[in-house]
């Protein structure tokens, strides 16, 4: 197991405990430990009854014949026989209940422009864009790529796809042209929805240009729809005749109503590409009915959502957090939320707290990496603002160190707001381990206990139960992934083979403490979590070896003060070729181009060779120790021990 030792050390000394404030607990959906335990027991004893009851709160064109069908495991089916539509449950249901005028989204652009959109307006925009897509020939199950900044049209496009049964594949707008190409080709995308640009730290990112480069020569793409974001700073867009159209032109002359397609339970809802240990990113498949119920219920209970809440999740819709906890889960609950386009430090480091004050945000969900940046920027940015509207805080994406947790608790939560540290993954669809804010006493740095219906275990490689080991999930749950697009074998092999199909394997290490709480210890595979973004080290390695001067490379993750983890690359250059800053620059440019700037390594180190076992396997443990400046442990299994001395000296030289 290769968990990150530093996080293990810091959390193993952590014994503080924070029970929910009694005022919070008194009005919470799940109030008190006993209530959580009772409902949890019920959900494990009879999961089908539990999930059916939750599903009853939503709209169905036709109810299910069975709740869970395990006959083709691990290809589980949930709510088989039902017909429903996510966009109907996010929009129409609230209008029918007389809440159409309620604000769905307070949107704020980075330059300070703002739009308030009610559920009724959202419905209208979604219907119009859905009709526009249909007019361009989009049909049920067609794959649509969405490459947009954090503007309302991003949520609108997602829901318009769901409305007509098209499958969205959102690509985070920080990904490069090559990443777009890989995703478009893998899923045979017929339409790409993008914008002329999007704001980031005062600059305009020219997204349409990146799309043009990414899809050049991709014959599957018949249509590109371009949202005009850059009114103030018009961006020169090269509109290709017959392929490209402006969003505002397409929605100008279509009907206001678009009936929601009656989707089958296991119809594909979306693809979201994520990194794994090997190969290119995989298209994680989420389907309709199970994801619908899971995103709805986890949002309701974990954020304790009430009708007068103002919720704000700072993630981008380009990641799973934005799919589930900006669009589907939150909108199904009909609450008001804030959506913000830009950076947390533009125009200054107080921007997030300005937004909380302005919109009276009551629930705030962000990433540990952001919290660590706020800590570094200093408390003054926070204390000047009125954050008294907050009642609940959350974190997601990576382990939170106890220091950052305590700062969040004191400075942002005024020691009053419970913190939900939510552990989950692109694959799980929604929260898996998390405190229940009105019930669970929290511990700094701990994701605590399972959500209803989730049965975790901590196992050895051989499937024996241990206190600290590999996290496993025993029962299927409605939000689980249904496959990897186009690769059922990889799906089985990656997630279900480790313990012979008996457990789901998420790839994280974990420890259970004396209270039965689960502490996440980081990944056990070669996936690194940089600022909450999953990056496979193999992806970087395969980019480096494409360079004509590079013979071999190994990339490892090391602890990073702000980002949680950073990447360090070890590169072996072909004999006789230059190894200098010029080559370093070329390698960085290649990463920018193939993956995106967020995947840049902190350091690139040249070495004459890499430490290998006698059977030729690169010893990453040793590379990690070198990169962390640690004493090297046992190196006797190395084929050539002098290699590491060489590397260590180079590393110290900087």
Q: Give the 3-state DSSP-derived string for 238-274, with helices as H, strands as E and coil as C.
A: CCCCCCEEEHHHHCCCCCCCCCCCCEECCCEEEEEEE
Please report whether residue 596 would count as binding ligand 6R9 according to CB under 6 A: no
Among positions 94, 482, 534, 563, the unique one binding ligand 6R9 when judged by CB under 6 A? 534
Please report whether residue 531 would count as binding ligand 6R9 according to CB under 6 A: no
Site string for ligand 6R9, 497-516 (x = CB under 6 A): ---------xxx--------
* Cβ-contact 296, 329 below 8 angstroms: yes
Q: Which is nearer to ligand 6R9, 88 or 319 (CB)?
A: 319
* Cβ-contact 169, 187 below 8 angstroms: yes
If you search the block for the tokens 């408390």, which residue do you land on? Answer: 379
- Of the candidate spans 19-27, 127-135, 238-246, 316-324, the one that interacts with ligand 6R9 by CB under 6 A turns out to be 316-324
Residue 534 known to bind ligand: yes
**Judged by CB under 6 A, how many residues of this single chain contact ligand 6R9?**
23
Q: Which is nearer to ligand 6R9, 152 or 479 (CB)?
A: 479
Q: Which is nearer to ligand 6R9, 274 or 337 (CB)?
A: 274
Among positions 424, 451, 485, 499, the unique one binding ligand 6R9 when judged by CB under 6 A? 424
Q: Is 653 exposed, middle or buried (0-12, 13-18, 19+ CB in 10 A)?
A: exposed
Distance of CA 115 to the CA centre of its chain: 25
Please report whether residue 4 would count as binding ligand 6R9 according to CB under 6 A: no
Q: Which is nearer to ligand 6R9, 127 or 535 (CB)?
A: 535
Among positions 212, 304, 341, 398, the unique one binding ligand 6R9 when judged by CB under 6 A? 398
Residue 424 known to bind ligand: yes
Please give the full DSSP string across 416-444, using - where no structure is assigned. TS-EEEEB--TTT-S--B---TTTPPB-T
Please report whether residue 303 would count as binding ligand 6R9 according to CB under 6 A: no
Among positions 260, 396, 528, 530, the unique one binding ligand 6R9 when judged by CB under 6 A? 396
Q: Which is nearer to ligand 6R9, 258 or 412 (CB)?
A: 412
* Cβ-contact 147, 179 below 8 angstroms: no
Positive/negative CA dihedral, 200, 202, 208, 209: negative
Q: Is the peptide bond before 13 cis (omega within 30 degrees of 0)?
A: no
Residue 523 known to bind ligand: yes
Min dist CB 247 to ligand 6R9, Å, is: 28
Among positions 421, 539, 541, 625, the unique one binding ligand 6R9 when judged by CB under 6 A? 421
Q: Which is nearer to ligand 6R9, 111 or 174 (CB)?
A: 174
Q: Which residue's CB atom is positioned nearest to ligand 6R9?
A: 426
Helix axes 581-594, 177-187, angle to 10 degrees: 40
Residue 421 known to bind ligand: yes
Which residues within the stretch 430-489 sit at the binding site for ligand 6R9 (CB under 6 A)? 447
Please give the full DSSP string across 345-391, using - where no structure is assigned. TSSSTTHHHHHHHHHT-SEEEE-HHHHHHHHHH-THHHHTS--TT--
Q: Which is nearer to ligand 6R9, 274 or 607 (CB)?
A: 274
Please give the full DSSP string across 178-219, using - where no structure is assigned. HHHHHHHHHHT-SEEEEES-EEETTEEE-HHHHHHHHHTT-T
Please report whether residue 405 would count as binding ligand 6R9 according to CB under 6 A: no
If you search the block for the tokens 């420890």, which residue do you land on? Answer: 511
Among positions 205, 392, 458, 520, the unique one binding ligand 6R9 when judged by CB under 6 A? 520
Helix%, strand%, coil% for the chain, nearest 5: 35, 25, 45
Tell me how far apart the alpha carbons of residues 21 and 23 are, in angstroms, rounded to a whole number.
6
* Helix segments in 496-580, DSSP class H: 537-544
Q: Is the peptide bond before 576 cis (omega within 30 degrees of 0)?
A: no
Please report whether residue 565 would count as binding ligand 6R9 according to CB under 6 A: no
Q: Which is nearer to ligand 6R9, 431 or 620 (CB)?
A: 431
Residue 612 per-residue DSSP state: B
Q: Give the 3-state DSSP-derived string for 472-489, with helices as H, strands as E and coil as C.
A: EECCCCCCCCCEECCCHH
Q: Which is nearer to ligand 6R9, 88 or 452 (CB)?
A: 452
Please report whether residue 197 would count as binding ligand 6R9 according to CB under 6 A: no
Min dist CB 135 to ligand 6R9, Å, is: 35
Tell me how far apart the alpha carbons of residues 66 and 64 are, in angstroms, rounded to a whole number.
6
Residue 344 known to bind ligand: no
Positive/negative CA dihedral, 328, 332, 333, 335: positive
Please report whether residue 539 would count as binding ligand 6R9 according to CB under 6 A: no
Site string for ligand 6R9, 71-100 (x = CB under 6 A): ------------------------------
Min dist CB 500 to ligand 6R9, Å, is: 22
Question: What's the angle, vertex CA 524, arms to CA 544 and CA 654, rounded to 5?
Answer: 45
Which residues within the stretch 231-290 sit at the binding site for ligand 6R9 (CB under 6 A)? 274
Residue numbers belonging to the annotated binding site: 200-203, 321, 345, 397-399, 421-426, 508, 523, 531, 534, 545, 547, 550
Kindly list the residues in this chain that would bind ligand 6R9 in the complex (CB under 6 A): 274, 319-321, 396-399, 421-426, 447, 506-508, 520, 523, 529, 532, 534
């Amino acid at each position: 197991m290769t968990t990150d030792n530093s996080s293990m050390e810091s959390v193993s000394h952590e014994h503080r405990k924070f029970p929910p404030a009694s005022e919070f607990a008194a009005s919470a959906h799940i109030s008190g430990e006993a209530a959580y335990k009772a409902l949890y027991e019920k959900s494990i004893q009879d999961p089908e009854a539990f999930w059916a009851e939750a599903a009853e709160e939503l709209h169905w064109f036709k109810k299910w014949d069975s709740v869970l069908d395990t006959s083709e495991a691990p290809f589980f089916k949930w709510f088989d026989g039902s017909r429903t539509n996510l966009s109907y449950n996010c929009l129409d249901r609230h209008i029918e209940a007389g809440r159409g005028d309620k604000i769905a989204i307070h949107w704020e652009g980075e330059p300070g422009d703002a739009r308030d959109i009610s559920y009724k307006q959202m419905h209208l925009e979604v219907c119009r864009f859905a009709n526009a897509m249909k007019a361009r020939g989009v049909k049920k199950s067609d794959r649509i790529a969405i490459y947009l900044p954090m503007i309302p049209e991003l949520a609108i496009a997602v829901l318009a796809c769901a409305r007509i049964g098209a499958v969205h594949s959102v690509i985070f707008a920080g990904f490069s042209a090559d990443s777009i190409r890989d995703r478009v080709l893998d899923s045979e995308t017929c339409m790409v929805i993008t914008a002329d640009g999007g704001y980031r730290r005062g600059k305009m990112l020219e997204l349409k240009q990146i799309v043009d480069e990414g899809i050049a020569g991709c014959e599957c793409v018949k249509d590109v729809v371009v949202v005009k974001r850059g009114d103030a700073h018009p961006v020169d867009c090269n509109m290709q005749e017959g392929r490209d159209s402006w969003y505002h032109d397409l929605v100008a002359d279509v009907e206001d109503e678009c009936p929601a397609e009656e989707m089958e339970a296991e119809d594909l809802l979306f693809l979201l590409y994520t990194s794994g240990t090997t190969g290119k990113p995989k298209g994680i498949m989420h389907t309709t009915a199970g994801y619908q119920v899971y995103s709805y219920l986890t949002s309701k209970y974990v954020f304790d959502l009430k009708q007068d809440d103002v919720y704000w999740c700072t993630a981008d819709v380009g990641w799973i957090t934005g799919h589930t906890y900006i669009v589907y889960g939150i909108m199904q609950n009909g609450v008001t939320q804030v959506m913000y386009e830009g950076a947390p430090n533009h125009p200054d480091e107080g921007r997030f707290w300005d937004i909380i004050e302005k919109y009276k945000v009551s629930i705030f969900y962000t990433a540990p990496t952001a919290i660590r940046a706020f800590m570094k920027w200093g408390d003054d940015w926070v204390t000047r603002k009125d954050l008294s509207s907050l009642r609940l805080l959350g974190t997601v994406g990576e382990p939170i160190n106890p220091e950052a947790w305590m700062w969040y608790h004191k400075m942002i939560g005024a020691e009053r707001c419970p913190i939900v540290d939510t552990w989950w993954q692109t694959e799980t669809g929604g929260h898996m381990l998390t405190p229940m804010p009105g019930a669970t006493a929290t511990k700094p740095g701990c994701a605590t206990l399972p959500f209803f219906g989730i049965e975790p275990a901590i196992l050895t490689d051989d499937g024996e139960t241990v206190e600290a080991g590999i996290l496993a999930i025993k029962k299927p749950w409605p939000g689980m992934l249904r496959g990897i697009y186009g690769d059922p074998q990889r799906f089985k092999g990656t997630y279900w083979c480790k313990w012979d199909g008996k457990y789901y394997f998420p790839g994280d290490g974990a420890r259970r403490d004396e209270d039965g709480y689960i502490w996440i210890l980081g990944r056990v595979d070669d996936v690194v979590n940089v600022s909450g973004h999953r990056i496979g080290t193999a992806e970087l390695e395969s980019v480096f070896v494409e360079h004509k001067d590079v013979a071999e490379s190994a990339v490892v993750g090391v602890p990073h003060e702000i980002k949680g983890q950073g990447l360090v690359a070890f590169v072996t250059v072909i004999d006789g070729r230059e190894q200098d800053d010029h080559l370093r620059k070329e390698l960085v440019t290649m990463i920018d181009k193939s993956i995106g700037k967020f995947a840049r390594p902190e350091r690139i180190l040249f070495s004459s060779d890499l430490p290998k076992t006698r059977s030729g396997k690169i010893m990453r443990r040793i590379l990690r120790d070198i990169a962390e400046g640690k004493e090297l442990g046992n190196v006797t299994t190395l084929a050539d021990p002098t290699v590491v001395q060489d590397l260590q000296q180079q590393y110290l030289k900087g």
